[in-house]
Amino acid sequence: MTMKIDRRELLATLAPGLVLALVVLGMAALLRATLEPAERATLAALLEPRAALLLLVGLLLAGGLGALGRGAYRHWVAAPARLAEEARVLAATDAQRALAPQGSTENRALGAVIDDLVRQRGALRDDVQARVQEASREIEQQRQRLAALMAELTQSVVVCNLDGRILLYNHRALLQFRALSSAPALAGGGELIGLGRSIYAVFDRRLVEHALQSIRQRRQRGDAHPSAQFVTGTPAGQLLRAQMAPVRAGDEEDAEVAGFVLMLEDITQQSAEAAQRDRLLQDLIEGSRAGLGNLLAALEMLEFPDVDEPTRERFQAVIRSEARALSVRVRDVASQTAQTIKTRWPLEDMLGADLVAAALRAIETQHACRVVGDEVDAALWLQLDSYSLLQALVFLAGRLVEDHGVRLLRLRLARAGQRAQLDLVWSGPAMSTETAVGLETEPIRVGSDTLALTVRDVVERHDGAFWFERVRVRHEAFFRFLLPLAEAGERFEPAPGPRGESRPEFYDFDLFRVSEQARELSDRRLADLAFTVFDTETTGLEPSAGDEIIQIGATRIVGGKLRRHECFEQLVDPRREIPAASIPIHGIRPEMVAGQPGIELVLPAFHAFARDTVLVAHNAAFDMRFLQLKEASTGVVFEQPVLDTLLLSAVLHPQQESHRLEAIAERLGVTVLGRHTALGDAMVTAEVFVRLVPLLAERGIVTLGQALEAAQQSYLARVRY
């Protein structure tokens, strides 16, 4: 790779020769002007045979002066500049290395003074660190108490801020999210969970926001320990049950909600078992009808007094046969259902007035119509899956507004025996019964979103009823839901605390302060962004000539901290030969990649791992070229901004002779381990980048846009692959 030429050093090298040439030319011109023609002819005759010798002497003299100029520049200019750059690195990092002696005697003496100051600073820093550690013992004890508490939980626990960014998760959550991955065999499925990563990669944002709104309503009613629960499907097809509790911003009961805790349980198997039990029950009913009919017919015939003995015996045989068949069928069903536990879709207690208020807001927000609450029993408590019920109400209201021109809707809520009846009422345009029945089985659509639910599904979740009715006398019609009432004594009961054995190995509560407001990334501070630092190992150095990726390794930086446990490492089958000359460099042999997934499977998983982050690499042009060449075949496009530690080093330390990763790491005091493995290089690059960020800030390079602009001005940015 061509290194940048220092223009000042080039000028120092050429300047003495140019000055000498100008002096000689000036003297020659002056001499020519003072001599008579005859004298000039005599001088020309004298110098002409010796022109080559004079030219050679001139060139040697110019070269010598150039070498002296270059040496003087390096001795008196470049050496102090390098010393200043290295001193800035030592001032901004924890590095304790000694500066290499270079330059003049005075410059060497200055380096020695800097070394003494660095040692003194190290001693002072060690003393401060000891005092900080002593003062932090109580905080560490609190952390250990948290760890002990988390170790008692069998459920997956995830803590998020209000933007849905993950602040804490336990080991069981890590294992569960990996199991939820659409590609769990790739790099451990680590693309779904991580500090600072969005929980909305797994959960529908609207569902979580609805649960948060329910919690806020309960707090407003004075509930000291509000919670909510919901069931949702994941992109990988699993069914999760989540219980949510708020995290307050302070100790006061009226403190604002700063985030939420999710306790997760995978109920996919339970749901499948419940569906199987339903099928068994249906089969039992259908299979028993014919047998019961035969039994009843046989018993009726036996009641006639004139039945002869052979006929009586035949009917008795029918009864015995059908009874045995029914006994076997019931025994088989009982045997199968005895192996499982019944699972119901979880319903939560909710004040009926709160449901009506939420429905009013949702319908008015979504549709251009008026909605009023009419005849609402404020004392009713319902047992609901409030999210799905609200979606059904918004869907029905939308069809009335869009298809029938209704502009005024009313909601009524009243007790109906052991149930509650919720009515969506309108006046004016009539609707046929066939249309109303069709709406019950039509997928629920709200805005541009279509849910995998129908109104009938929502009703079945509540074990309720739904119908359409017209009141011709009052010229009105309504949809009516029959819903379950909450049982007395069940409200606000805290869920029993499960027990288990995982620890909170992954947390960073500083992320509560990280704002994820929608702003241009170029204006965001580097210290506030999340980064994916990655590296690739390849079959060779020519991506355009057919070389392929054989390994991808990556780690994450969130909140200015390297998250070593959040990593991506995956071998790739290149489907071509690995040159023998490259094996000693990366250590990846053909048998190691045989049977590994191809790049068409690995790149989507890596793309998910890097979602919502800025990419960082060393000599990023090389790695990005490999990724770009796979866009057409994989359909995966990396559109994130990319920062290059090679270019950033050149921006910060233009006087340094090398910007290789090892050289930068040595300057910044980073220990190099695992070099020339994809994950090892990514880890070193991440450590380097973390140390470069404060150095960039000292130069006024604070935002992502400033860093990208500065890097592109570097000469090394012109390198292409």
**342 token code pair:** 């019944």
Cβ neighbors of 611 (< 8 A, separation 6 or more) are 191, 197, 198, 201
610: left (phi over 0), alpha (psi -120 to 50) or beta: alpha
| pLDDT tens sequence across 439-451 | 998 989 888 778 7
Q: Are residues 53 and 155 in the same domain?
A: no
Q: What does 251-281 look like in DSSP terms, one character per residue?
A: SSTTPPEEEEEEEEEE-HHHHHHHHHHHHHH
Residue 298 inside a domain? The answer is yes
What angle separates helix 704-712 from helix 645-652, to the nearest 10 degrees?
A: 80
CB proximity list for 446: less than 8 A, separation 6 or greater = 366, 391, 394, 395, 398
Q: Which of 657, 512, 528, 534 is nearest to 162 (CA)?
A: 512
pLDDT tens-digit readout, 701-713: 999 989 998 888 7
Radius of gyration of the chain (CA): 39
Report the number of secondary-structure helices (H) and strands (E) in the chain.
23, 20
User: Is the residue at 711 inside a domain?
Assistant: yes
Instruction: Give pLDDT tens digits for 27-69.
Output: 777 777 777 777 767 767 776 776 677 677 777 777 777 677 6
Beta strand pairing call for 408-416 and 370-376: parallel
Number of structural domains in the chain: 5
- Rounded to 10 deg, the angle between the 7-34 and 51-73 helix axes is 140
Burial profile 401-412: b = 16 or more Cβ within 10 angstroms, e = fewer = beeeebeebbbb
Share of the chain above pLDDT 90, in %: 22
pLDDT tens digit string along 376-434? Answer: 988 888 888 888 899 999 999 999 988 888 889 999 999 998 899 999 999 877 788 88
- Note the pLDDT of residue 273: 67
Which residues contact residue 334 at a Cβ distance below 8 angstroms, ignoring those fewer than 6 apart?
A: none
Structure tokens at 537: 């190992």
Query: Residue 507 domain-assigned?
Result: no
Report residue 669 as tokens: 């005091």
In terms of domains, do 478 and 558 share one? no
Spatial separation of the C-alpha atoms in residues 627 and 602, rounded to whole Å:
11
Give yes or no: residues 466 and 421 share one domain.
yes
Question: Within a domain: residue 607?
Answer: yes
How far is residue 90's CA from residue 322's CA, in Å, rounded to a whole number?
Answer: 92
**Pair (295, 424) in one structural domain:** no
Task: Give the per-residue pLDDT at 515.
Answer: 43
Q: Is the pLDDT of residue 103 over 80?
A: no
Same domain, 561 and 650: yes
Q: Which two tokens stand for residue 43?
A: 């001088």
The residue whose two tokens read 């040496």 is: 71
Task: Write out pLDDT tens, residues 360-373.
Answer: 988 988 887 889 98
Range 515-551 burial, b when 16+ CB lie within 10 A, else e: ebeeeeeeebebebbbbbbbbbbbbeeebeeebbbbb
Burial of 89 (0-12, 13-18, 19+ CB in 10 A): buried
Write down which residue in 285, 306, 337 finishes a domain: 337
Residue 586 phi, psi dihedral angles, 5° rounding:
-100, -15
Residues paired with 161 in a beta bridge: 259
- The DSSP 8-state label assigned to residue 198 in this structure reads B
> Is the domain of 218 the same as that of 286?
no
pLDDT value, residue 557: 93
Neighbour tally for 622: CB within 10 Å: 19
Cross-strand partners of 266: 240
Catalytic option among 225, 475, 565, 676: 676
**Residue at which a domain ends, from 337, 366, 384:** 337
pLDDT at 499 over 70: no
Label residue 515 left, alpha or beta by phi (over 0 means left) and psi (-120 to 50 means alpha): beta
Residue 655, φ and ψ in degrees, nearest 5: -85, -10
Choose one of 267, 288, 316: the last residue of a domain.
267
CATH number of the domain residue 220 falls in: 3.30.450.20
Q: Answer whether residue 493 shows pLDDT above 60.
A: no
What 8-state DSSP symbol labels residue 559? Answer: T
Rounded Cα gap, residues 346 and 337, in angstroms:
21
Return the CATH number at 442.
3.30.565.10
Mapped onto helix, strand or coil, the DSSP state of residue 224 is: coil
The amino acid present at 166, given as its one-letter code, is I
Nearest-angstrom CA–CA distance, 537 and 584 = 12
* Distance in angstroms (rounded) separating the CA atoms of residues 565 and 112: 40
Percentage of the chain beyond pLDDT 70 is 77
Residue 106 placed within a domain: no
**Do residues 314 and 352 share a domain?**
no
Check residue 162 and report its DSSP letter: T
Tell me which of 623 and 139 has the higher pLDDT: 623
**Domain identity same for 478 and 585:** no
What pLDDT does residue 274 have? 64
* Residue 703 DSSP class: B
What pLDDT shows up at residue 272? Answer: 67
pLDDT higher than 60, residue 593: yes
Q: Is 676 a catalytic residue?
A: yes
Look at strands 419-427 and 476-484 and give their pairing: antiparallel
Tell me: pLDDT of 504 over 60.
no
689 & 560 share domain: yes
Within a domain: 368: yes
Q: Quick check: 586 pLDDT over 80?
A: yes
Give the pLDDT of residue 340.
Answer: 44
Asked if 578 contacts 550 with a C-beta cutoff of 8 angstroms, the reply is yes
Which of 146, 145, 178 has its CA nearest to residue 159? 146
Number of neighbours of residue 413 by Cβ within 10 angstroms: 23
Q: Tell me if 589 sits within 8 A of 583, measured CB to CB.
A: yes
> What DSSP line would sit under 320-361, residue for residue?
HHHHHHHHHHHHHHHHHHTTS-------EEEEHHHHHHHHHH
| Rounded average pLDDT over 157-169 | 88
pLDDT at 425: 93
The Cα-based distances of 32 to 40, 55, 273, 628 in angstroms read 7, 18, 111, 67
Same domain, 534 and 678: yes
AA letter at 625: R
Q: How many Cβ atoms from other residues are within 10 Å of residue 455's Cβ?
A: 23
Residue 121 lies in a domain: no
Residues 415 and 449 in one domain: yes
Pick 602 or 127 by higher pLDDT: 602
Which residues constitute the domain of residue 409?
348-484
Residue with tokens 């806020």: 216
Residue 86, pLDDT above cutoff 80: no
CATH code at 698? 3.30.420.10
Indicate if the pLDDT at residue 313 is higher than 90.
Answer: no
Q: State whether 262 and 282 are in the same domain.
A: no
Whether pLDDT at 460 is above 80: yes
The more confident residue out of 280 and 618 is 618
The pLDDT of residue 501: 38
Which pTM value belongs to this model? Answer: 0.58
How is residue 558 written in tokens?
């969130």
Confidence (pLDDT) at 194: 81
Tell me if 101 is assigned to some domain. no
pLDDT at 629: 92
Is the pLDDT confidence value at 335 over 70?
Answer: no
Q: Which two tokens stand for residue 317?
A: 């045989």
Confidence grade of residue 150 (pLDDT, cut at 50, 70, 90):
low
User: Cα separation of 414 and 423, whole Å?
Assistant: 9
CA angle, residues 258, 263, 264, in degrees to nearest 5: 130
Quote the mean pLDDT of the chain: 79
pLDDT at 474: 81
